[in-house]
Amino acid sequence: MSYLTLVILGAICGLIGSFAMNLFMRTVSHAYSKRVDMVIALGSFFTGTVERAAILGTLIHSIAGIVFGVLYFLLMNAMNSLSFPSAIFLGLGFGFFHGLVMSYCLMFIASERHPIEAYRKATLEQGLLHLVGHVIFGAVAGFIGGLLALGL
């Protein structure tokens, strides 16, 4: 598979994975607490206000999903594991590791510097939700990637 194909498929899977993660996080946010709305928290980190945060947060998260989808695909290809079901398990593992790193960043770095007071108190539950969200991202990207690789 060419690198251009890997980049394009990785970008597509990353975008779909970020959508799935975003859907999970928003569902939890609406059901339990607005403070776990990752898109609003991310956007308001840069805008300083909640009112304009959704658009910027969605844009940043979508771009990050594309970048990490491509990265996941390149790593899977380098490991000769862009196949079904290996891609699912690697996606889960990459998502878990990625989630650990991002949860740490959320809980100990970003929350302390957030311009909005309500988002300065990151809890263990929020960190775990972000971890689960990243595992969902990896699982979706790996699942779709494995299925796409079957057809190529």
Residue with tokens 């079957």: 150
CB atoms within 10 A of CB 151: 5
Query: If we measure between CA atoms, which residue out of 90, 105, 83 comes closest to residue 137?
Result: 90
SS3 of residue 22 by DSSP = helix
pLDDT for the residue 35:
65
SS3 of residue 16 by DSSP = helix
pLDDT for the residue 33:
67
Which amino acid is residue 150, in one-letter code? L
| This prediction's pTM | 0.91
pLDDT in tens, the chain (152 residues): 788 998 999 999 999 999 999 999 888 888 876 666 788 888 999 998 888 898 999 999 999 999 999 999 999 999 998 888 899 999 999 999 999 999 888 888 887 888 888 888 878 888 898 999 999 999 999 999 888 877 76
Could you give the count of Cα atoms lying within 13 Å of 117 in the half-sphere of its Cβ? 0
pLDDT for the residue 117:
83
For 112, the domain range is 3-151
Domains in the chain, number: 1
Cβ contacts of residue 92 below 8 Å, gap of 6+? 135, 138, 139, 142
CB 142 within 8 A of CB 92: yes
pLDDT for the residue 122:
78
